[in-house]
Structure 1
Amino acid sequence: MPVVHTSAIKRARQSIKRHQRNKAILHGAKTVAKKVKVAVAENNPELAQTLLREATSTIAKAVTKGSLHRKTASRKISRLAKSVNSAAPKS
């Protein structure tokens, strides 16, 4: 029977917890980003602007939780903002 260290068991347990938490956080970020893209595709700038604010907040929270790298988050937010701004009516 192999020797199993208690610290290895704990690390495995922590890894599973982190994986589940990260998966949930990233799934939420993907969902709001998709909503923004759909609003832009439907040519609804007011809704897209509102959803962009929500998406920015959600993605930024993913960074503070350590689920997403800050530069990745910045790139995602930038691309979403760019798509919303290009869909906005020109004044």
Structure 2
Amino acid sequence: MANHKSAEKRARQTIVKTERNRFYKTRIKNVTKAVVTAIESADKDTATVAMKTANKYLHHCVSKGVLKKGTAARKVSRLQTAVNAI
């Protein structure tokens, strides 16, 4: 695999970063699913609380470099539009 010391270090760092991103992306899916489930059950209060959590977490992921700013904004916008439609 890696033949240089710097390449070996990059390989180690990639493993750590990949594991961390997997945690964040799984959490993004779960938070988003909570909002969608509340929307499908037509429960405005639960959807609003779940949306607040999702909004906060998606923007948190932007600060960690897991998502780009536009991606998070698009996801939040689509979820919020669906919540408002209840």
Q: Normalising TM by the smaller chain, what interval?
A: over 0.9
The answer for unaligned runs of 5 or more in structure 2 is none
Q: Which digits, 9 at most, give the CA deviation of each residue in 1:23-43, with x for residues without a partner?
A: 111110110110000000001
The letter of the residue matching 2:18 is H
Give the fraction of aligned pairs with identical amino acids, expressed as a percent. Answer: 36
| Secondary structure of the corresponding residue to residue 85 of structure 2 | helix
Whether the 8 Å contact between 2:34 and 2:50 is mirrored in structure 1 is yes
Size of the aligned set, in residue pairs, is 86
CA distance in 2, matches of 1:46, 1:22: 31
Q: So what's the TM-score if we normalise by structure 2?
A: 0.95
In structure 2, what residue type is equivalent to 1:19? T
User: What does residue range 58-77 of structure 1 map to in structure 2 within 5 Å?
Assistant: 58-77=57-76
Partner of 2:24: 25
| Aligned partner letter, 2:12 | R
**1:32-70 deviations in Å (ceiling 9; x for gaps):** 110000000001000000000000011001100000011
Structure 1: runs of 5 or more not aligned: none
